[in-house]
Amino acid sequence: MHEGKRVALVVPAYNEETQIEWMLKSVPDFVDAIFVVDDASHDRTAERADGADERVEVIRHEQNAGVGAAIVTGYRRAADDGYDVTAVMAADGQMDPDDLETLVHAVASGECDYAKANRLFTRQAWELIPRARYLGNAALSFLTKIASGYWNVADTQSGYTAVNLETLRLLDLERLYPRYGFPNDVLVHLNVWSRRVRDYPSRPIYGVGEQSGIRLRKVVPTISWLLLKGFFWRMKEKYVIRDFHPLVLFYMIGLLLFGVGISLGLMETVLRRIGNPIPVATVVLVALLSVSGLQLLLFDMWFDMESNKHLHAPGFGLAAGLPAGTVVVYAPHLEAPAEVLELASGARPAGSQR
């Protein structure tokens, strides 16, 4: 229990027999229940989880359904049991248990409805995360900002999260993407319900025996397509069905102008290569359509950003509510939050030297 709120932890697991036991033993004491969802593992993941901690309950899938489906199973159980805050940690030990209290506190205190870890916020990220995964994560984070409307979040592939009971009961869990794109898809759905989402810095962990089955060549196109569909679904649900907003019209016109301009430009390029002359007026028309469409699309993004500004407070995690110009320093070695704030405001902690 944390601040009078009952806390559940969902741990999706698939073939993690070498990791799951010590990972579960690292879960902080304030967590009341741990739901390990074994997604039809072929090894002894379920058996290892059963005896790791008295708070653990193992839920088994008969068939492998994906990490997103495993999280949804845990979400349903936590919501049915009425847990006030439900967090998610991976079974491979790549999520620092010391960061769990930050996420749970943010939700339990009402600071936000959905808190997520952001590994890219720290300088360690570039040093520890494999380059291909870092760049792929950054690209998908940008696309997720556009699709979800949460321009204040990054590291959208992070599944280290916490959510309150009210939000869980609002979400249509059946609609959520069941596999690796789950964290991206859930952000799209949260925005439709106008839920407050915040990022909090988290230490990236690699080299602890984890095994990744992620293939970027497959994952990036798949999630990009998922985000494209999610973007248009959000536009329809939030800005047409629930409350008509003019940015939908601007997006439609911008996409039309930009699409026609690019298509016409490609067609004229092909004609030029086979020897046909291109009139100056055509070149001007292509430029006008393309530039006008691009400007409208950029304006729409800004419009969408302004429309969703109320879903996050100024600042980033600890920075919320601090004076303008304050710099947040992620310093887990400091013993108390007061020391972190002192360092962030420019003062030196006791005993430190410049």
Q: Specify the 3-state DSSP secondary structure of 94.
A: coil
Q: For every residue of 116-138, which 3-state class applies, written as one string?
A: EEEHHHCCHHHHHCCHHHHHHHH
**What are the residue ranges in the chain where pLDDT is below 70?**
122-127, 206-216, 313-354
**Residue-wise pLDDT tens digits, 192-233:** 999 999 999 888 776 555 455 566 678 888 999 999 999 999
Distance CA 254, CA 66 (A): 36
Inter-axis angle of helices 182-192 and 131-148, to 10 degrees?
A: 20
Give the model's pLDDT for residue 143. 95
Length reported for the chain: 354
Give the model's pLDDT for residue 76. 97
Distance CA 56, CA 315 (A): 36
Distance CA 98, CA 133 (A): 24
Q: Which amino acid is at 156?
A: T
Give the model's pLDDT for residue 137. 84
Give the model's pLDDT for residue 211. 57
Give the model's pLDDT for residue 186. 97
**What is the phi/psi pair of residue 10, to 5°?**
-100, 130
- pTM for this model (two decimals): 0.81
Q: Specify the 3-state DSSP secondary structure of 161.
A: strand
Give the model's pLDDT for residue 216. 66
Question: Cβ(196)–Cβ(112) under 8 Å?
Answer: yes
Give the DSSP letter string of 36-55.
EEE-S-SSSHHHHHHTT-TT
How wide is the angle at C-alpha 291 spanned by C-alphas 289 and 297, nearest 5°? 100
**Residue-wise pLDDT tens digits, 326-337:** 444 444 444 444
Give the model's pLDDT for residue 121. 73
Give the model's pLDDT for residue 312. 74
Dig out the tokens for 115 from the structure. 């808190």
CA-nearest of 305, 299, 306 to 254 is: 299
